Structure 1
Amino acid sequence: MNRFLLDITIALEAILANKVKTILTALGIIFGVAAVITMLAIGNGARQEILNQMKMVGVNNIIIQPIIESNEEQEEDDQSQVKRFSPGLALKDVKSIRQVLPSVEQVCPQVIQNKTLIRQGKSSRVKVIGTANNYFTLFNKELSEGSFFNAHQVEYGQPVCIVTDQIKVSIFNNQSPIGKEIKCGDIWLRVVGVVEKPVLDESSGELGLVRDNQVVYVPVQTMLLRYVNRSLVTKSQLEADEDEEENTSAAEKKNYNQLDKVIVQVNKSENLQPTRAVLAKMLKRLHNDVDDFEIIVPELLLQQQQKTRDIFNLVLGAIAGISLLVGGIGIMNIMLATVMERFKEIGIRMAVGARKKDILTQFVAEAALISFSGGIIGVMLGIISSHFVTTVTGIITIVSVWSVIISFGISVAIGIIFGYMPARKAATQDPIVSLRSE
């Protein structure tokens, strides 16, 4: 044990005597470890973001949205062929889905309108979403105060609403809005509940969700009775449509669907694709063989995103790992050069009683100490760079304990492995030849 400690002490003295060379040798390990930790942190952050998005879109949900054509597209279709009439996405579709599909647990309709909210001189542009109580269950939303819509309010389309926490802060000065009234568009609504502030904004775009904290939720019957019901054809509506068509360009799109969205929750994940296929056939039949809708499965989209990001992170990790490998090769090259420079020292040590094992231990210890110190600095640099990436780009990064342990362990292992060859070369030197060398 004393000989082993002496060998390590000699290795440490040799490192301290050549500080510049040691730092240059350790640079490959430092940047390699830092790169690995940063890449793994970005990968962990991306994975966590996907999990958060999955929580926001709900479990086993399918989203049905209408395809709205512009006036130009409708004219082209009319010229090319006689287009069949489709009633569009409507409440009768929701009823049919509930009755026909046994794999469906919940169905939630949505109608979305942009309105101006006014109360006591304060105004704000908001999204008014007509929906059902199960919307809050589907998207994991909880109330911070108040209650959900009761059966009477839902059935008779009462002028009640649930607002988001941001509206409570901006319009009600963070005071309880329960029982108070707000004017949303031309309708006065009584607040019955407040939705808790979300951890993350809802995803938008291909996931089919509303990304907005300024939202007022009303029962779907309230929306259809008091705001808009696009399935009704009245004289006033026809006149309004004629005036609107005169003032709008052919490229603008007109929505004639009663509903803007239908969310369907399936009982099991393995039933997502079969249910999607049945929904497509059933809705096409209900819409007179007109493909005027699209079906989105957010969970599958997110899983595909996760696979893509995993591949991307794997490539980045491989690149970072290559830098560690290059660092190990750098250690081997420098140690080989060091052995050539220190032939005389090796010969003297062997002449005074050092064994081949002692020489081997000394040079392996030098390589291990260089990689050990480089690993520590690399870990600190990797943590700092991960926080820097989050600060500058806004990309979520999560530095896990395992990523630190793995990258640090690999750096030490690389130092030992790549330091063994130079150490073995030093240990096999003939002491007489070493003493003769200049």
Structure 2
Amino acid sequence: MRKTPFQIYLRYAHNITIAIEAILSNKVKSFLTALGIMFGVAAVISMLAIGKGAQQEVLEQIKLVGVNNIIITPVDQSIDGNGVNADNGNKKKKFSKGLHQLDANSIIETIPSVKKVSPVVSLNYHAIKKGKSYPVTLEGVSPDYFEMLNIVIDQGKHFSEQHSDMGTPVCIIGDNIRNRFFNQSDPVGQYIKCGQVWLQVIGTIEKRDFTASASDEMGISSSDNKIIIPIKTMLMRFKDRGAIKPEVMDNMAGGGFVFFMGGNPEDEAPKASGKTTNQLDKIIVQVDETEQLSATADVIKRLILRRHSNIYDFEVTVPELLLKQQQKTNEIFNIVLGAIAGISLIVGGIGIMNIMLASVWERIREIGTRQAIGASRKDIIVQFLAESTLISISGGLIGIILGVLLAHLIHLMADIKTIVSFFSVIVAFGVSATVGIIFGYIPAKSAASQDPVESLRH
């Protein structure tokens, strides 16, 4: 007749009780035996938490830069089409007016795979409301900007086509600005002053988590301190760096005049010294399908290069592809971290095996006595196997607590995002129990194989 699990437990309960008593009677030795497992489990949990946090950061960054987006930014204009500095004595310096609204229009009109385009102009201002002044980033964008970057409006509404076409002085404000100026009231419909312009608030942006590490490489910035206005409002009412200024016209007197009268755009055309000619700070382009990102980026590069007289005064970046490459690197990094932490668990298991082997020889008389009064080989194996498994499981439980605390400390002290997942806890605990069983079996088998007569002689 097949025995039930409860019957099996009753059969070996006494052996398990003896194992527990042995552990409790040698608390210090049992604790030191479990140290390897404790630190191994803590290392596995904390390392996997770092890896999970890194993966989550990448996913958040992809949301921040938007799906299938390409970002075009201006760079140093002193590089020619061959990547060589154009300020040499043998060449005339070609003229490029920099990143311009016309470039954005050309992209959406020319390239079929492009879904949406938003030019962006950013300026630093002080917002003023009832005598309070607060530094803000004033950003001019198109209505598509919010959808492209997954920005949620939690109060009010988006820009309308009329706002964009007419350059209406309306704005959508970030969470910090709302809390600063409209903490006790509804901001929608009220006015806020930037420079000499009064802007009507038509919406507020929902606060979202922002990873500062993303800002440097991807050009991402938090929307919490932004006042966002239509691009035409920015160019009409605040600043248009692409407009022809009197000092530029003075510098253009003479040879430069042919450029505006239909001359060759590659002819020499000086710029106002020390002034940027980039009308836009960047252009964000959204592509229909992810598979089209690389090809579209290449077409955009060639299109703008032709429009800018073969001057590389811009840079085309595909953040999603860079982030996915970073994610792949993180996955490899996680495997390495997990392997290193796993090795510490194996070392802990070897420590258990060594201590239990030594314990067998220390307790040889006990083993002989139990065998003499009727204990079978299975009873001896269960006793020592239970002892090693209980030590390992106890070390695993303490290691889980240490691992969670360590992950939290890493987050607080090193400002590294960590996420402790239920899966990592289960894996670490399961491995610790398995290590106790595997590395405890050899000492248990060694104890059971002792000759009772020889054991009693010791």
Asked if Structure 1 and Structure 2 have the same fold, meaning a TM-score greater than 0.5 normalized by the shorter chain, the answer is: yes
Counterpart of 1:118?
128
Amino acid at match of 2:227: V
Provide the secondary structure at the position in 2 that maps to 1:65: strand
Residues 119, 201 of structure 1: alpha-carbon distance in 2 compared, 3 angstrom cutoff: farther
1:18 offset after TM fit, Å?
A: 1.3
Stretch deviating more after TM superposition (376-385 or 75-84): 75-84
- In the alignment, is the contact (CA less than 8 A) between 2:118 and 2:145 conserved in 1? yes
- Asked if 1:100 is matched to 2:110, the reply is yes
- Asked if 1:332 is matched to 2:353, the reply is yes
1:63 offset after TM fit, Å?
A: 0.3
Residues 96, 221 of structure 1: alpha-carbon distance in 2 compared, 3 angstrom cutoff: same
- Equivalences for residues 20-419 of structure 1 within 5 A: 20-69=28-77, 77-79=87-89, 81-200=91-210, 203-211=214-222, 213-235=224-246, 254-419=275-440
1:236 offset after TM fit, Å?
A: 5.8
Residues 201, 176 of structure 1: alpha-carbon distance in 2 compared, 3 angstrom cutoff: farther
Counterpart of 1:9?
17
Residues 403, 77 of structure 1: alpha-carbon distance in 2 compared, 3 angstrom cutoff: same
Residues 239, 317 of structure 1: alpha-carbon distance in 2 compared, 3 angstrom cutoff: farther
- In the alignment, is the contact (CA less than 8 A) between 1:3 and 1:358 conserved in 2? no
Output one character per residue of 1:241-279: Cα deviation in whole Å (capped at 9) or x when no partner: 9xxxxxxxxxx9632111111001111111111111111
CA distance in 1, matches of 2:169, 2:26: 81
1:409 offset after TM fit, Å?
A: 0.6
Provide the secondary structure at the position in 2 that maps to 1:204: helix
Counterpart of 2:255?
none
CA distance in 2, matches of 1:43, 1:28: 22
Stretch deviating more after TM superposition (324-333 or 200-209): 200-209
Residues 78, 34 of structure 1: alpha-carbon distance in 2 compared, 3 angstrom cutoff: same
1:209 offset after TM fit, Å?
A: 2.1
Amino acid at match of 2:46: T
Provide TM-score, normalisation by structure 1: 0.91
CA distance in 2, matches of 1:240, 1:26: 80
CA distance in 1, matches of 2:71, 2:184: 34
CA distance in 2, matches of 1:20, 1:75: 71
- In the alignment, is the contact (CA less than 8 A) between 2:78 and 2:87 conserved in 1? no
Residues 336, 15 of structure 1: alpha-carbon distance in 2 compared, 3 angstrom cutoff: same
Provide the secondary structure at the position in 2 that maps to 1:232: coil
- In the alignment, is the contact (CA less than 8 A) between 2:70 and 2:317 conserved in 1? yes
Moved over 3 A (4+): 68-71, 73-76, 236-241
Stretch deviating more after TM superposition (140-149 or 27-36): 140-149
Counterpart of 2:265?
none
RMSD of equivalent CA atoms: 2.3
1:237 offset after TM fit, Å?
A: 6.3
Residues 385, 80 of structure 1: alpha-carbon distance in 2 compared, 3 angstrom cutoff: farther
- In the alignment, is the contact (CA less than 8 A) between 1:68 and 1:253 conserved in 2? no
1:370 offset after TM fit, Å?
A: 0.7
Counterpart of 2:269?
none
- In the alignment, is the contact (CA less than 8 A) between 1:360 and 1:423 conserved in 2? yes
Provide the secondary structure at the position in 2 that maps to 1:128: strand
- In the alignment, is the contact (CA less than 8 A) between 1:208 and 1:296 conserved in 2? no
1:78 offset after TM fit, Å?
A: 4.8
Count of aligned pairs between the two proteins: 426
CA distance in 2, matches of 1:157, 1:226: 8
Identity %, equivalent residues:
50
Amino acid at match of 1:424: K
1:221 offset after TM fit, Å?
A: 0.9
- In the alignment, is the contact (CA less than 8 A) between 1:68 and 1:255 conserved in 2? no
1:234 offset after TM fit, Å?
A: 2.7
- In the alignment, is the contact (CA less than 8 A) between 1:201 and 1:213 conserved in 2? no
Stretch deviating more after TM superposition (289-298 or 227-236): 227-236
Structure 1 unmatched runs, 5+ = 242-251
Provide TM-score, normalisation by structure 2: 0.88
1:80 offset after TM fit, Å?
A: 5.4
CA distance in 2, matches of 1:159, 1:278: 35
Provide the secondary structure at the position in 1 that maps to 2:235: helix
Output one character per residue of 1:386-431: Cα deviation in whole Å (capped at 9) or x when no partner: 2222232332221111111110010010011011111111111122
Provide the secondary structure at the position in 2 that maps to 1:41: helix
1:322 offset after TM fit, Å?
A: 1.5
CA distance in 2, matches of 1:84, 1:237: 16
